[in-house]
Amino acid sequence: MISPIQVRDMSPRHLRNSCTNCSLRELCLPLGLSPEEMQELDGIITQARPIKRGEALYRAGEPFRSLYAIRLGFFKASVISEDGREQVTGFHMSGELMGMDAISTDVHTCDAIALEDSEVCELPFNDIEELSREIPLLQRHFHKVMSREIVRDHGVMLLLGNMKAEERLAAFLLNLSQRFAIRGYSSSSFHLRMTREEIGSYLGLKLETVSRTLSKFQDQGFIKVQNRLIELENIDSLKKLLNTCHDE
Amino acid sequence: MISPIQVRDMSPRHLRNSCTNCSLRELCLPLGLSPEEMQELDGIITQARPIKRGEALYRAGEPFRSLYAIRLGFFKASVISEDGREQVTGFHMSGELMGMDAISTDVHTCDAIALEDSEVCELPFNDIEELSREIPLLQRHFHKVMSREIVRDHGVMLLLGNMKAEERLAAFLLNLSQRFAIRGYSSSSFHLRMTREEIGSYLGLKLETVSRTLSKFQDQGFIKVQNRLIELENIDSLKKLLNTCHDE
DNA sequence: CAAGGAACTTGATATGGATCAAGCCCAATC
DNA sequence: GATTGGGCTTGATCCATATCAAGTTCCTTG
């Protein structure tokens, strides 16, 4: 369920705004495009745009024109039901692509809110389609990215439909840990960008339950919690929580 | 969250195997392709293949080569966690496309099981990509279909994360009702193809809860249940269950 | 047509997480 | 540096749904 390990961008600073930029790894790096193709792809990517913490990259109901590649930062995506309940559908970090849900109706169906100061590259969708008609590798890659989103969503359904609170939290922490590791950050010590309430919304739990479960993990020596700083002290125990066979 | 109403195919029987076939409406009908393009699309669609009730169209772990358009019948898609828990991720009926999750890794990540005798058309994925490079309308349409799957999944997350058992069941019944209506079947009287356990798995409930809740709806006069035959007797009441504002 | 088993219903009880409530801590703001 | 409010923790209680259990119906298969 986790994408293959991808290397951190070590290219010189002056190249960082190009398509080889690490922030666009999901869209570009694994492609193996020719230099010319790279340049074409570069051509459609607009200047990075900063989004302050708390600001919306887009909101449900707004017309759809572009996908967004996160260059830097951290976002939550959430849907609001007719009667006002929020469901966080995902947390997204650098290198990931947002907005694919909007393709179906040409209208955004989620809110995307920055949870820290962030930067995104806008990718006009018409351009993506046009270019991917010319570059089969890009086409294939784009399809894989969309498909990966579907697979991820299925994983969340499994979590919401089958798992107990402790398992959900353990899965959540391990997932974050892996994604930070891929980006070259510590996998055992990281800062949560979201509130307990947002974690709860994502995991189908109330914020009190999130808080209690984190405390319990701490008591058991699995993690250390200091506000939003999390240190994983016994990753294997967390993994064991997940693998435990639940009879039936 | 529901796709626009689409008309039932009234074309003569001898044309039914072509791309205008009603069973492929999701893939073909709304496109407005030229006759030549239609023919090309026809060319990649293989002979319909029958799948008996209980048989698998594909299983998790099998190599991915094709998407499948359901011509006729009813399928469930489900993922199995490492420790053996099943989560039904969706129920699929005629005109829908299955297998898109497999694009990401070239391996199927779900099981697709026929819940009644069914027929599918195989669509080799390489051909789809090639053709959609030539026919922008097809490309756009395929992207919309994938995106719609993502939006659908977000809806399920909202359901699993936020709703009570009664709301989940009501949403489920109304969703089925709409989808039957689109296909020209009765929206108020239909046959469930799945067991209570499968409904429960999809909705994150135990089969007893599904059974009890259906009985309750019957007692309240919202529906009539006879085995797997469901009759919606008061659709508005079911809708009201969903719209009810849950304070907070 | 009979037998067996899967699917379903219904009741009784248990429990995980929600809800309600109170107080604390920290970060932002003046 | 004090103040304020949002975010968080922890305890007590409640409730929706799971779990356990028993019996029924229906469908399949011989």
Confidence of residue B82 (pLDDT cuts 50, 70, 90): confident
Is residue A67 over pLDDT 90?
yes
Number of Cβ atoms within 10 Å of the Cβ of B216: 14
Predicted pLDDT of residue B45: 85
* Domain match, A187 and A214 both: yes
List the B161 CA – C8 C1' distance (angstroms). 27
- Is B133 within 8 Å of A129 when comparing Cβ atoms? no
* Strand C contact residues in chain B (159-198), C-beta within 7 Å: 192, 195-197
Confidence of residue A4 (pLDDT cuts 50, 70, 90): very low
- Whole-number average pLDDT of chain B: 88
Q: By mean pLDDT, which of A39-43, A92-96, B120-124, B235-239 is the weakest?
A: A39-43
* Domain match, A113 and A149 both: yes
Q: Is residue B5 part of a domain?
A: no
- pLDDT tens digits for B22-75? 456 666 555 778 888 888 888 888 788 999 999 999 999 999 999 999 999 999
CA distance B17 to chain A (A): 27
Q: Is residue B2 part of a domain?
A: no
Q: How are strands ordered across the β-sheet holding B97-98?
A: B49-51, B118-124, B66-72, B97-98
Predicted pLDDT of residue A32: 76
Predicted pLDDT of residue A84: 84
Is residue A9 over pLDDT 90?
no
* Domain match, B39 and B144 both: yes
DSSP-derived secondary structure letter, A104: G
Q: Is residue B102 part of a domain?
A: yes
Is residue B6 over pLDDT 60?
no
Q: Which chain D positions have some atom within 7 A of a protein CB?
A: 7-12, 16-21, 26-27
* Phi-psi region at A247: left, alpha or beta (left = phi > 0; alpha = psi -120 to 50): left
> When comparing pLDDT for A34 and B161, which is higher?
B161
- Is B100 within 8 Å of A133 when comparing Cβ atoms? no
**Domain of B144, in residue numbers:** 13-159
Q: Phi then psi for A189, rounded to 5 degrees?
A: -150, 115
What percent helix, strand, coil does chain A show, rounded to 5? 45, 20, 35
Comparing CB atoms, the residue among A79, A83, A204 nearest residue B160 is A204
Comparing CB atoms, the residue among A101, A246, A248 nearest residue B150 is A101
Q: Are B75 and B114 in contact (CB under 8 A)?
A: yes
Q: Are A109 and A98 in contact (CB under 8 A)?
A: no
Q: Give yes or no for B246 touching A (CB within 8 A).
A: yes
CATH code for the domain of A195: 1.10.10.10
Is residue A201 over pLDDT 70?
yes
* Strand C contact residues in chain B (205-234), C-beta within 7 Å: 207-208, 210-212, 214-215, 225, 227-228
Confidence of residue A29 (pLDDT cuts 50, 70, 90): low
* Domain match, B194 and B168 both: yes
* Domain match, B148 and B171 both: no
Domain count for chain B:
2
The residue in chain A having the minimum alpha-carbon distance to the alpha carbon of residue B141 is: A104
* Domain match, B73 and B111 both: yes
Q: Is residue B233 part of a domain?
A: yes
Which residues lie below 8 Å from residue B45, measured CB to CB, with a gap of 6+?
B19, B24, B69, B121, B122, B123
* Domain match, B21 and B110 both: yes
Q: Is residue A7 part of a domain?
A: no
Q: Is residue B86 part of a domain?
A: yes
- Is A148 within 8 Å of B104 when comparing Cβ atoms? yes
Alpha-carbon span A152 to A101, nearest angstrom: 13
Which residues lie below 8 Å from residue A152, measured CB to CB, with a gap of 6+?
A1, A90
| Chain A residues with CB-CB distance to B100 below 8 A | 146-147, 150
Q: Which chain C positions have some atom within 7 A of a protein CB?
A: 7-12, 16-21, 26-27
* Domain match, B123 and B37 both: yes
Predicted pLDDT of residue B160: 98
Q: Are B172 and B160 in contact (CB under 8 A)?
A: no
List the B195 CA – C4 C1' distance (angstroms). 20
CA distance B242 to chain A (A): 8
Confidence of residue B5 (pLDDT cuts 50, 70, 90): very low
Which of B48, B50, B22, B19 minimizes the C-alpha distance to B131?
A: B19
Is residue A69 over pLDDT 90?
yes
- Parallel/antiparallel/unpaired status of strands B49-51 and B118-124: antiparallel
Q: Give yes or no for A204 touching B (CB within 8 A).
A: yes
* Domain match, B150 and B216 both: no
List the A201 CA – C21 C1' distance (angstroms). 22
| Chain B residues with CB-CB distance to A148 below 8 A | 104
Read off the amino acid at residue B175: N
Predicted pLDDT of residue B63: 98
* Domain match, B217 and B152 both: no
* Domain match, A118 and A140 both: yes
Q: Which residue has the tokens 């420790």?
A: B83
Q: Are A156 and A87 in contact (CB under 8 A)?
A: no
Query: Which of B159, B189, B214 is a domain's end point?
Result: B159
Query: Which of B140, B159, B178 is a domain's end point?
Result: B159
Q: Count A/B contacts: CB-CB distance under 8 Å.
A: 154
Q: Is residue A65 part of a domain?
A: yes
Q: By mean pLDDT, which of A45-59, A169-183, A200-214, B102-116 is the weakest?
A: A45-59
* Domain match, A108 and A208 both: no
Average pLDDT over residues A92-101: 96
3-state secondary structure chain B: CCCCCCCCCCCCHHHCCCCCCHHHCCCCHHHCCCHHHHHHHHHHCCCCEEECCCCEEECCCCECCEEEEEEECEEEEEEECCCCCEEEEEEEECCCEECHHHHHCCECCCEEEECCCEEEEEEEHHHHHHHHHHCHHHHHHHHHHHHHHHHHHHHHHHHHHHCCHHHHHHHHHHHHHHHHHHCCCCCCEEECCCCHHHHHHHHCCCHHHHHHHHHHHHHCCCEEEECCEEEECCHHHHHHHHHCCCCC
Q: By mean pLDDT, which of A38-42, A117-121, B2-6 is the weakest?
A: B2-6
